[in-house]
Amino acid sequence: MKHRLMLILLPIVALVMGGIWFLNGSGHGELGQAALEHTKEILAIGPRPPGSKSLEQVRGVVKARLESAGWVLVEEEFERETPIGKIKFVNLRARYPAGEGDPWKQPIEGLLCAHIDSKYFKDEVFLGADDSASACGAIIEIGRVLARDKPDQAKKLELVFFDGEEAYVDFTTLDGLYGSRHYVSNWRNSPTKPRFGILLDMIGHKNLKIAMPADSQVELKDHVLSAAAEEKAEEHFKMFPGPITDDHVPLNQVGIPTIDIIGDFQQTSWWHHQNGGKDDLAILSAESLDISIRVTLRTLDRLLGKK
């Protein structure tokens, strides 16, 4: 009788476990799968260089997703001369209300950032899936999770989506990092700067290799590496052999220590379409996004407390 019962139960258990496996996104964590869906929504709009209608649509998507989670967003517009003429840039900023007052007058402790634009190419399509739509998708999901599960952390953060990170020709003091160089004017003379910043860039590649700049602030670097170890993801995180030019640089220059959690672009064939590779949806992985999000959330726990 027991053997007959087991024969009946085994197919049922198999069906249940198969259903659970399917519902969990073929084994991928739900955070990464959700972030991938946000990223797909961004990429469906097409290339999004600064000043384009498509980038305006992308900002609308990001605003809608974060506003639905309770965040308050503002657009920060400015113009700059570039190698292709004057361009209007728009940084997108988000805060979570701490009470009845104006969230833009409340003190914050940290910044969580990514760049929202894709690199401008005159004669070719460049989607910028990992550079850096994936980071935007991740921050949308992190913002949703913090608002739902850790509102005390959310109230201590500002989310920033920088426009114009990409250089039109090559990175110089005048070309590239347009959004972050403008954004830091909000903090340059402030007596109450955020204690830290976390910048996410190229964090969704299916072969995840994070390589943080060698000159990263030691405490922040240690927090990220410890968080990666706690998530059993340390094999995906290492240090780059030198400095990196990215949106963390202007933040560091005005006294906001900022860590750049960035994929090792030198080890790719797709970065800016070098060697014929394509930075499109096919190179992304929900599993990689999940790892990056979990490590970021654990880093925030270490910096802001676990509430």
Closest CA to 250 of 152, 182, 170, 171: 182
Q: Look at residue 139 and tell me if it is in a domain.
A: yes
Q: For the domain that residue 72 is a member of, what is the CATH number?
A: 3.40.630.10
Q: Look at residue 123 and tell me if it is in a domain.
A: yes
Q: What is the pLDDT of residues 162-220, one digit of tens each?
A: 999 999 999 999 999 999 999 999 999 999 999 999 999 999 999 999 999 999 999 99
Q: Look at residue 158 and tell me if it is in a domain.
A: yes
Q: Look at residue 160 and tell me if it is in a domain.
A: yes
Q: What is the pLDDT of residues 19-46, one digit of tens each?
A: 333 333 334 499 999 999 999 999 999 9
Strands annotated E in the chain: 72-82, 85-95, 110-115, 157-162, 196-201, 210-212, 237-239, 258-262
| Contact between residue 83 and residue 169 where contact means Cβ atoms under 8 Å apart | yes
Domain that includes residue 147, residue range: 30-304
Q: Look at residue 85 and tell me if it is in a domain.
A: yes
Output the average pLDDT for the chain. Answer: 90
Closest CA to 75 of 95, 93, 97: 93
For the chain, the domain total comes to 1
Q: Look at residue 23 and tell me if it is in a domain.
A: no
In this predicted structure, what is the pLDDT of residue 307?
A: 64
> What's the pTM value of the predicted model, to 2 decimals?
0.90
296 pLDDT exceeds 90?
yes
d(CA 275, CA 277) in angstroms, rounded, equals: 6
